[in-house]
Amino acid sequence: MAFDIYDFTTLTSSIHQSLSESLPPLAVEMIEWTLVGLSMLIFVALFGLILVYLERKVCALFQQRLGPMRVGKWGLLQTIADFVKLLMKELITPNRADKFLYNLAPFIVIIVTFMAIAAIPFAKGLQALDFDIGVFYVSAISSLGVIGILLAGWASNNKYSLIGAMRSGAQIISYELSVGLTLITMIIFAGTMQISGIVDAQASGWFIFRGHIPAIIAFIIFLIAGTAETNRGPFDLAEAESELTAGFHTEYSGIKFAFFFLAEYVNLFIVSAMATVLFLGGWQPLHFGSFEGFNQVMDFIPPIFWFFGKVMFIIYMIMWFKWTFPRLRVDQILTLEWKYLLPVNLFNILLMTLIVLMGWHF
């Protein structure tokens, strides 16, 4: 069976078929899940390193400097050098910390990110899990990450860590409402919670174009709330260096600190991927009505390139926010959510429902 860069179903089917010919069903399933797990591990490790490098270069761009340039050409090996350094660091546990919860917290944070990535479709046929409630699954799993943050802050027995964890908990739980309501808005428009079904429904046009004003409002709110959910600037009050040293992970070092650091960038990818799936067509190419020539040219670009191109665009926008806007106070963060985003979201759901019932969309 030939490999098709436009449909990875051929690749996955050929692997399953070759394993099934020589192994019992249970062994086939175990091997396939092992392959999926290893693929996720490699992807998270490599993509996390790439995002750290890009973050430094984007920051340097906005501050009119070069960024890392010494290790490797254009500083390409700088993040690898930093990762090796973190692996060699001594793991220190504070004397009065709750050792079990202190060591458990970083694993909860990183495991949650892996569970969320499993439901994201990278291209046609390239998706680990395809639930009929996929959007609900990603939303529910992503909300578990705050448990690891709260445990890390409390178990460290450090006042800065505790304050950072409390800020993060209040912020994440508050902005989960806006993220959830934007998801509901787009589910009403799509008519399904299955992520592959949402992507397939955008074959004739991305939802951000077909959904009129409610889709655009939901997209803007999702970007704002998603940035706050990932504790990134200007919503990074939970780890404000000028006040709390490093916030909830002040007492962590070595690989445990690396887990928190990596989870932040993986969560950035998850938020960007969900924005891509819900609003920008996922791996679907850009099509404009009856412009057949243009549409055929767009179809030549492989779906996986479309997906990662859109994801990197969203990631760049979120990085732009961080290095452009000043950090908000905790009262400003909560006021933005409860007094502005939440009422606008509730009105937007009603507006989207009206548009769907009246058939006013494309």
Residues 35, 137 within the same domain = no
**DSSP 8-state code for residue 191:** S
pLDDT at 214 over 70: yes
Question: What gap in Å lies between CA 274 and CA 137, rounded to an integer?
Answer: 12
Asked whether residue 16 is assigned to any structural domain, the reply reads no
Count how many domains the chain has.
2
Give the least confident one: 12-26, 105-119, 337-351: 12-26
**Residue 244 pLDDT:** 67
57, 88, 119: which is the final residue of a domain?
A: 88
Asked whether residue 6 is assigned to any structural domain, the reply reads no
Buried b (16+ CB within 10 A) or exposed e, 301-340: ebbbebbbebbbebbeebbeebeeeebbebeebbebbeee
Query: Sorting pLDDT into bands at 50, 70 and 90, what band is 262?
Result: confident
Give the least confident one: 62-66, 124-128, 177-181, 291-295: 291-295
pLDDT at 261 over 90: no
pLDDT at 251 over 50: yes
For the chain, helix, strand, coil in percent to 5 are: 70, 0, 30
**Residue 123 pLDDT:** 87
pLDDT at 36 over 70: yes
Residues 60, 116 within the same domain = no
Residues 50, 191 within the same domain = no
Residues 208, 285 within the same domain = yes
Average pLDDT rounded to a whole number, residues 241-249: 71
Residues 72, 135 within the same domain = no
Residues 245, 347 within the same domain = yes
Residues 37, 185 within the same domain = no
Average pLDDT rounded to a whole number, residues 251-278: 89
In this predicted model, which residue has the larger pLDDT, 108 or 204? 108
**Residue 243 pLDDT:** 66
pLDDT at 273 over 90: yes
Question: What gap in Å lies between CA 171 and CA 43, rounded to an integer?
Answer: 29
What is the residue range of 61's domain? Answer: 23-88
Round the average pLDDT of the chain to a whole number and report it.
87
From 191, 210, 219, 185, select the one nearest 346 (Cα to Cα).
185
88, 104, 129: which is the final residue of a domain?
A: 88
- 155-169 pLDDT, tens digit per residue, is 888 888 888 888 888
**Residue 336 pLDDT:** 92
Question: What gap in Å lies between CA 220 and CA 239, rounded to an integer?
Answer: 24
Q: Between vectors from CA 189 to CA 362 and to CA 203, what angle results, nearest 5°? A: 55
| H/E stretch holding 260 | helix 254-279
**Residue 1 pLDDT:** 44
Is the pTM above the cut of 0.75?
yes
Query: Sorting pLDDT into bands at 50, 70 and 90, what band is 329?
Result: confident
88, 117, 133: which is the final residue of a domain?
A: 88
Residues 104, 68 within the same domain = no
And the tokens for 318?
């979120």
- Sequence length of the chain is 362
Residues 243, 325 within the same domain = yes
Average pLDDT rounded to a whole number, residues 16-24: 86
Asked whether residue 3 is assigned to any structural domain, the reply reads no
Asked whether residue 15 is assigned to any structural domain, the reply reads no
Q: Per DSSP, what are the bridge partners of residue 285?
A: none
Asked whether residue 329 is assigned to any structural domain, the reply reads yes
Question: What gap in Å lies between CA 343 and CA 117, rounded to an integer?
Answer: 30
Asked whether residue 44 is assigned to any structural domain, the reply reads yes
**Residue 362 pLDDT:** 63
Asked whether residue 154 is assigned to any structural domain, the reply reads yes
Query: Sorting pLDDT into bands at 50, 70 and 90, what band is 187?
Result: very high
Q: Per DSSP, what are the bridge partners of residue 96?
A: none
Give the burial class of 55: count Cβ atoms within 10 A of its Cβ; 0-12 exposed, 13-18 middle, 19 or more buried: buried
Q: What are φ and ψ of residue 4, in 5° steps?
A: -120, 120
Residues 145, 211 within the same domain = yes
Question: What gap in Å lies between CA 8 and CA 327, rounded to an integer?
Answer: 43
Residues 284, 250 within the same domain = yes
pLDDT at 361 over 70: no
Asked whether residue 13 is assigned to any structural domain, the reply reads no
Residues 82, 106 within the same domain = no
